Amino acid sequence: MKIASVSDLHVESSVNRRAVAAMSSHLEALAPDVLLVLGDLCNGIHDVGNVLAGFDKIGKRRIYVPGNHELWSGDGDARATYYRTLPEIAAQAGFEMPIDAPVVVDHVACVGTMGWYDGTFADPSVDAARLAEKEFEGRSLLDRHRVRWRSGSGSTLGDCEIADMLLADLRDQLAAVPEACGTIIGAVHVVPHPTLLGPRWERDAAMRYFRAFQGSSRLGDALASDPRVRHVFAGHNHERIDAYAGGISWHLAPLGNLKPGDAFDPSRHVAVVDVD
Ligand SMILES: [Fe+2]
Ligand SMILES: [Fe+2]
């Protein structure tokens, strides 16, 4: 079974929009059995349906996992956007979103979540109180201003509470994988394992600061707890990385924020694996 994964399309720029059109043609020719689209398609929800619909001929099954950028809606209810609005938009575009249950394709189960950051990737040299500011030398983490998760009672959820909630979804899906599935693949937006953080995250004080907001090692630990998990695909960190650690192959193949003159490159912008 051929699995292809893309992420971080960021279609706000014309360079990225051209690359996404080329990506769609490439994926159509590649003809994977399962296509994973792992978030950060656009800022807010308004273009999500259009972007997903551009991939509607690709793959026998298509799976969408939102990224933090889709939650930049400003309406103050990221929880409703994630659990209600985005699954509806995805379904209309022919995509499935794993939330309560895995997506099962023959004998392969796909478990997934956007995931959130919880401080487990924080550089030990960075003070915890400084991290709570989400700002370093004038550079601000934009999620802080643009994403608001609320509890059932209306109070604002902190990062660890959001991470716990999404991690619980992942664990529930793993627990619900049918016995007949010999292989599980993971699909997350944020970084689930430190092997997907390249050396650039140690490069300077700013990178060491923002490393904390790349994801959560607890996602990787949950995935590694099931020996049937063979491949995990992610996004969020705009680096092309394939790595093997803890019995799992980890893959990042984001489009990211292309520069003028850049173009779609299948070797960098699509991760493809065959699973049996
Ligand atoms: Fe991104
Ligand atoms: Fe992201």
User: What pLDDT is recorded for position 74?
Assistant: 65
Distance 7 CA to ligand 2 centre (A): 9
Distance 152 CA to ligand 1 centre (A): 28
Tens-place pLDDT, residues 128-179: 899 999 999 999 999 888 888 988 888 889 999 999 999 999 999 999 999 9
Q: What domain range is 184 assigned to?
A: 2-274
244 dihedral zone (left: phi>0; alpha: psi -120 to 50; beta): beta
248 dihedral zone (left: phi>0; alpha: psi -120 to 50; beta): beta
User: What pLDDT is recorded for position 75?
Assistant: 66
User: In the chain, which stretches have pLDDT less than 70?
Assistant: 74-75
As for how many domains the chain has, the answer is 1
User: What pLDDT is recorded for position 152?
Assistant: 82
Q: Contact at 8 Å (CB) between 233 and 275?
A: no
Distance 211 CA to ligand 2 centre (A): 13
Which pTM was predicted?
A: 0.97
246: domain CATH number is 3.60.21.10
Angle formed by the axes of helices 217-224 and 159-175, nearest 10°: 10
User: What pLDDT is recorded for position 255?
Assistant: 98
User: What pLDDT is recorded for position 151?
Assistant: 85
